[in-house]
Structures are given as structure tokens and as C-alpha cells.
Amino acid sequence: MHSVLSPALVGIYERAVSRSSGEVEFHQALLEVLESISPVVERHPEYIESGVVEVLVEPERQIMFRVPWVDDNGTVQVNRGFRVQYNSALGPYKGGLRFHPSVNLSIMKFLGFEQIFKNALTGQGIGGAKGGSDFDPHGRSDGEIMRFCQSFMSELYRHLGEHTDVPAGDIGVGGREIGYLFGQYRRLTNRHESGMFTGKGVLWGGAQVRTEATGYGAVFFMQEMLNTRGEAIDGKTAIVSGSGNVAIYAIEKIAQLGGRAITASDSSGYVVDEAGIDVELLKQVKEVERGRISDYVDRRPGARLVTNGRVWDVPGQLAFPSATQNELLIGDAQRLVANGVLGVAEGANMPTTPDAVELFQDAGVLFGPGKAANAGGVATSALEMSQNASRQRWDFGTSEGRLHSIMKDVHRSAYEAAEHYGRPGDYVVGANASGFRRVADAMIAQGLI
């Protein structure tokens, strides 16, 4: 089930790579998308003739800026801030902010490019963007986090707005950071523009289920994939990487549907809990205390910590890579297949390397790519925007019901597109093809801009 780049797209890919030297993560994401849409452009040459693909691969706007701030010792620190506003054909730019030392332009472009198609798949009328900084929030005091966020927003605010660009959280940007960022935006603009940021606290404009949405959505997507084979999550063991927002709520929803997630991880190692991860204890350690995964083991009888292996060594029928990009390698995929994995749903963005994706597909493993499987987060962000615009608040059940319905639609769109383009069961092709056509048709309709 390997993809091949259409001859019509080779020149577009080569020109994009030559203009972005050294941006390896972006090159990887670009090649995956172009390979996936090859069956589309071969059947619809108007996408090449119109130049829409050539235009689409170049961001509409790239913003880079310095972020000076003062730490608790009175020392001046300087970080670099980014916002890549990639495409707004379907609506205002929408995508998270990531605070992590690994952040650079390549990662921002890869994430922003992926976001275009993910957002299109939701059907919610939002464009694609991504941003962040190489700032590391770990070990920083609340005061340091606040001063950094205020400095960051003092530059970025001029590029944002509910009709222009609506950020959200990502790695390193949770409720605390969003609060400080939103507060500074409000201070600078003299507007309580609730719809310009999503993932806010429920008391000041946030939506129910936004915190849970990405993890819940990945599990809903897995459920839909399994349904195509007469399977279910109930009774199955799941391997989950990460211990942030996505992983925690994937673990929670797996348990609610009768499955058993037995792993979680962070940069210090991974935990195996054969009884099933105690999600309330994990929330306490990670969300309240901001501790390490080893703190979970210290308080959970029967759990063990592994510091020198791979979480994918643990046998399970379902896998949810939910930590970061390129975390699941070819060797990991081989072990998962050997251990009888049935399905993989990406909670993180591009966590599975291309050769590992091919191995899963060749082995007949259900594989849900991030732009489809983790679209629940941004879908619920769009629902938050709707509630802000109408000054309404939906209850938890209503919001979760809307999320579940959207994830079913995302699955159906990807599944049907894969069938239509002669790649049945290939959700990578299906998700990219469906998202691409929605964006490309809108771009053609709006002219060369």
C-alpha cells in the first residue's frame, strides 16, 4: 500500500524543498501529503493546471520574532517566537502554540501544513496555522511563565483576532499559559474577544470537553476503524505514549469504552500498569503537581517504571502514539506487529515515521494518521469559537456528543475518499485527499491570492 509521487508533483516538491533547505520535518510532511494526493491530481489535472498545489505548499505568512523576558534571578533571557499562518481559504487561521526547546521553523511549518488538512477534514470552516517558541516551561515558576507569555503575546497579538487567527494550546501550553496569553491580549487590545483563543478556562469563555477532546477524539476514531472490521475497544489492551493532555484523556476514554490502557510515558521513561492506568492519579501527578511519571509509580502498587526501553516493547492490541513527532520508529512498528497490534491511532502530530507507517499498512494494521485521528481537539476548538460568537455555553454531554459526531464524519470522509481513489483502507491517502480537495476547491473559487 505504498504511495508514489505523481510526476506532475515532482517539480512542486523539489522547488518547495529547495526553498526550505534543512527543514527536514517539513519535507517529511510535504512528501507524505503530495504522495497521498497523487491519485487526486492524476484524476483531476485542473489542480495542477490552476497552480493551486504550487500555491498551497507555500505559507501565506511566516512570522518570527524575539521574546525577551526576565527570570526570577533578574537575568535577561531571549527566546524566539514563531507563527506560520499557512492557509485561510476555509476560514481564519487555526492551530496551537507549542513551547518546547525543539521548536524551530521546520517544525512550525510541518505542523501548520498538517493543520490545513486536519482542519478541513472537520468541516468546521477554519484554516491552518501553527506557532510557538523554543522556550522550555519545565522547572520555571508561575511568575517566569507569566512574564514570558506576556512578552510573547506583546508581539504576536497584532497578528491575531477572532476573524484572522485563533491560536490554542499544544505541547507546553496548557490552561495556565493560555490564561496568561489571553490576559495579555485583552490588556493590549482593550477587548474581551473570547473567540480569539481556544482552550480557555470554562469560567471565562472556554468550552466543555475542549481539554478532553484530542484524546477522546483519537479513541473515537479508533472505535470507528475497528467497527469496519467488526471489532471494538471493549476488552482490548492499549499502549499509550505520553502523559500530557492527549495521552491522559485517551486513557480515560479507553477505560470508559471497556478497554485497558496499561502504559504512559514522559522523557524520563515509561510506566507499565497491568491493572490499567489509574487516570485520576495520573492527572494528579501531571496536571496538578506537574511531576514526572516516576511519581506515579511511587504511589501505585504494582506499577513499574522502565527507563531504558521503548514503550512500544509492551504487548497490546491497540496503540496510541500521543507524545511527539517521529517517536514510533520502524523497529517499534515491527515489535508492535509481532505482538499482534490491530490498530494504531496517532494522538500526536506525525509521531510515526514513514517506513513504520508502510510496515503497518503492509501488515494490514488499521492506521489512523494524526490529521484524522487527532482532529477532535481542533474540532472542539471550533465549537468553542461558535459558543463564544453566540454567547452560549453547552453542557458536557452536548459538547461530547458533537465531538463524537464530528469524529464519525472525519472517519467517514477519510474512509470514503480512500475507496474512491482506489486505496481502500488507506486512511493516510483518504484523509489527505479529502482535506486537500476541500481546501483546493475553495482556493480555486477565490482566485489567485
Q: 144, 160, 193 — which closes off a domain?
A: 193
Q: Is residue 256 one of the residues assigned to a domain?
A: yes
Q: Please give the pLDDT value at position 1.
A: 44
Tell me: do 320 and 226 sit in the same domain.
yes
Share of the chain above pLDDT 70, in %: 99
Catalytic residue set? 130
Express each pLDDT in 381-405 by its tens digit: 999 999 999 888 899 999 999 999 9
- CA 110 to chain CA centroid, nearest Å: 11
Average pLDDT of the segment spanning 334-357: 96
pTM metric for this prediction: 0.90
Binding site as annotated, residues for substrate: 94, 115, 118, 169, 381
pLDDT in tens, 136-161: 999 999 999 999 999 999 999 999 99
Are 270 and 292 in contact by the 8 Å Cβ rule? The answer is: no
Question: Binding site for NAD(+), residues?
Answer: 214, 245
Alpha-carbon torsion 438, 444, 446, 449, what sign?
A: positive
Residue 60 DSSP SS3: coil
Banded pLDDT at 210 (limits 50, 70, 90): confident
How does pLDDT run across 415-441, given as a tens digit for each residue? 999 999 999 999 999 999 999 999 999
- Could you give the CA distance from residue 88 to residue 92 in angstroms, rounded to a whole number? 5
Query: What are the start-end ranges of the E strands in 14-135?
Result: 61-70, 76-87, 93-99, 128-133
Indicate whether 409 belongs to any domain.
no
Whole-number Å distance between alpha carbons of 306 and 291: 17
Is residue 410 one of the residues assigned to a domain? no
Per-residue pLDDT, averaged over 126-132, amounts to 97
CATH code of residue 147: 3.40.50.10860
Instruction: For residue 430, tell me if it sits in a domain.
Output: yes
- Domains held by the chain: number: 3
- pLDDT tier at 2, thresholds 50, 70, 90: low
Q: How far is 236 from 259, CA to CA, in rounded Å?
A: 5
Structural domain for 169, as ranges: 61-193
Are 175 and 65 members of one domain?
yes
Confidence of residue 3 (pLDDT cuts 50, 70, 90): low
Asked whether residue 269 is domain-assigned, the answer is yes
Residues 125 and 194: their CA atoms lie apart, in Å, by: 18
Residues 54 and 65 in one domain: no
Give the pLDDT confidence of 222-243 residue by residue, as tens digits.
999 999 999 999 999 999 999 9
The verdict on 163 and 238 lying in the same domain is: no
Per-residue confidence (pLDDT) for residue 180, from 0 to 100: 98
Half-sphere exposure of 157 (CA within 13 A, CB side): 19
Cα of 77 vs its chain's centroid, Å: 29
Say if residue 176 is in the same domain as residue 305: no
Output the average pLDDT for the chain: 95
The CATH number for 266's domain is 3.40.50.720
Q: What is the pLDDT of residue 4?
A: 85
Domain assignment present for residue 411? The answer is no
pLDDT at 86 over 70: yes
Work out the average pLDDT over 204-216: 92
Same domain, yes or no: 51 and 89: no
Q: Span 351-365, mean pLDDT? A: 96
Considering the domain architecture, whether residues 184 and 218 belong to the same structural domain is answered as no
What are 309-324's pLDDT values in tens digits?
A: 999 999 999 999 999 8
Domain boundary among 126, 161, 193: 193
**Is 131:109 a contact under the CB 8 Å cutoff?**
no
* 39/108 same-domain check: no
| Binding-site entries | 94, 115, 118, 169, 214, 245, 381
Same-domain check for residues 185 and 69: yes
| In a shared domain, residues 321 and 446 | no
Q: Is residue 275 part of a domain?
A: yes
Within a domain: 418: no
